[in-house]
Amino acid sequence: MLPWSSCCPHSLINNVIVMQASLITEHLTILLSLAWLLWIVLLGIGLILERRSPAATLAWLLALLFMPYFGFLVYLLIGPRRLHRRRLRYSRARERLIQSTHPLRDDRAAPPSFAGIGLERQLATLLERSGQGAPTAARAVTLLETGDGCYAALETAIAAAGHHLHLEYYLWQPDRVGTRLRDQLIAKAQAGVHVRLLLDAIGSDRISTRFLEPLRAAGGETAWFNPLSLRRLRPTSINFRTHRKIVVCDGRIGFTGGINISDQHSAQSSGADAWRDTHLRIEGEAVHRLQFIFLEDWYFATNQAPFDPSFFPPFPESATHSWLQIVESGPDNSRQAIARLYFAAIAGAQQRIALATPYFVPNEALTAALTTAALRGVEVRILTPKHSDSRLVTAAARSYYDELANAGVHIHQYGPAMFHAKLLTIDDRVAMVGSANFDNRSLALNFEAIAVMYDTGLTTQLTRSFEADLNSASRYIRPGRRATFGRRFSESAARLLSPLL
């Protein structure tokens, strides 16, 4: 009896503790599950209220449902979230810049207006009604097709600057090219030129404070666009990057296009592996629009909008000029001007379309526009890299090829070097060059800028450049039954993620 009487109370107590712990655990599990379910429901409601495409919304909902933890982490990093504060900051920057430049422009003679007809007039009107500036005159436009040629032109313009230098880049590497240009900026800052350098926090993540410190010490200003933050346990999205490449020298000479600051674009550094790309050097009134975009982005990054009348210098009238329309788009504006422009231009083509892009992941509307144009009898040619620097994007792109080829679209794959140019020409009448790729990331998630040229001479020049690139490309031929199951499955799986790419 003694052993039983001495052990029983302890056993009862242990059993009670275990039961209570089990009940607490069970209730806690239920509460956590309900809280998680409520959170998923709220996120789902938020996704639905975003009014994105049904495909993108369903993709995110399925990711959150079937991959609850991993999907939630991905949503935090790259999910669609509104930029209310950023939009407010952008609107303030625009208002301040418009107010600052309004008196200045009132004192000037009215510049000549664009008198385009047909498709050109329609595209210009579309962009103006989408919140873009009207076409403006460019005294000179130079096509730059190699990284070394672009850097040489850029260094010449920087050397000639006497008042200010404004530079905005998605990617700036601390390599040979990047260091050389930084040192030139340091010398200009020491000479009294106002230097402002805006870099994307992800694209230029290899740039350190130590690398930029000599420029700051010389009097230059640097800023990061949309830096990562863990504040409030909500890291800033890796979307909403500035993918723009903009340089403005004294408000008179501007550069834009697809070339970043990196040895990857230089044949002197990378040899035959140098990336093939396209850039523009612009001189004239059209540069003011690039200046305006840079100042908006600078205000967004620093909450400061410096203004000086010399940022927008007058240009004497010129007998010869080209008409340019600088177009910006980003998640701060739901009108998606570049996406609408691409669709309208392709839909309005009558003879020829030449599209070059390193990342080809079109949405349903653009896919329909391309196939419809080909079925109408328009010659549609697309140039993409044989192997891009992203296997996922390459696989997703190939999942569209058969549908396009069946409609009569000619697809060419450039390689083995990486093809990074972004251009579109329509009927030898309109051409577009800039930073925007033919994918959802460029058209909806990132800040981009392109130049639309209403000039037959420039368009013909770009078309010839496109045709020259075809000599380094191979025509895509449908593999048919020769395609392995693994390839077909991987491409189809990658296509499911296309709304998120």
Q: 316: number of CA atoms within 13 Å, CB side?
A: 1
194 is catalytic: no
188 is catalytic: no
- Burial bucket for residue 358 (CB in 10 Å: 0-12, 13-18, 19+): buried
Catalytic option among 166, 188, 250, 321: 250
Contact 469, 383 (CB under 8 A): yes
Contact 353, 380 (CB under 8 A): yes
303: left (phi over 0), alpha (psi -120 to 50) or beta: left
* SS3 category, 453: strand
Find the Cα–Cα–Cα–Cα dihedral 290, 296, 300, 304, rounded to 10°.
Answer: 110
With residue 41 as reference, give the H or E element that holds it. Answer: helix 2-49
Catalytic option among 164, 245, 279, 288: 245
- Burial bucket for residue 21 (CB in 10 Å: 0-12, 13-18, 19+): exposed
Contact 392, 384 (CB under 8 A): no
243 is catalytic: yes
For 92, other C-beta atoms within 10 Å of its C-beta total 15
Residue 174, C-beta contacts closer than 8 angstroms, at least 6 positions apart: 182, 206, 207, 208, 211
Catalytic option among 194, 243, 265, 412: 243
Distance, C-alpha 128 to centroid of its chain: 21
Helix axes 364-375, 391-406, angle to 10 degrees: 30
Distance, C-alpha 185 to centroid of its chain: 25
Catalytic option among 420, 439, 455, 469: 420
386 is catalytic: no
* SS3 category, 493: helix
The per-type count for the chain, helices as H runs and strands as E runs, is 16, 17
Catalytic option among 427, 439, 455, 469: 427
422 is catalytic: yes
Catalytic option among 164, 265, 279, 422: 422
**What six digits make up the tokens of 499?**
């709304």
Q: 301: number of CA atoms within 13 Å, CB side?
A: 26
Residue 14, C-beta contacts closer than 8 angstroms, at least 6 positions apart: none
At CA 79, angle to CA 74 and CA 81, rounded to 5?
Answer: 150
Q: Which residues are catalytic?
A: 243, 245, 250, 420, 422, 427
